[in-house]
Amino acid sequence: MTQLDSITWSIQVFWLFVIFSIIYFLLYRLYGPLIFYNQNLQSKKIQKHYNLIVFYDYLNVSQKFKRFFIIGNSL
């Protein structure tokens, strides 16, 4: 079997590293910015929704607090 031959083994390992490095750097250069852009966009959306939920919760609590004092003062 040629894959177990000690003469060709080092050449195969060399080409494995060369081809893997080329594919890795091509994917990193082509798809890396797109992936990082999508991650940033997603984190901004999550932060925006979280801020809206917290603000909405704050409004509900403040309105209920005001209603409680209106009812409490009327008694």
**pLDDT tens, position by position, 13-68:** 899 999 999 999 988 888 888 888 888 888 888 888 877 777 766 666 677 767 66
Q: What is the mean pLDDT of residues 68-74?
A: 64
Residue 6 identity: S
pTM of this structure: 0.43
* Three-class SS state of 16: helix
Contact 38, 44 (CB under 8 A): no
pLDDT of residue 72: 60
Q: Judge whether residue 8 has pLDDT over 60.
A: yes
Maximum Cα–Cα distance across the chain? 97
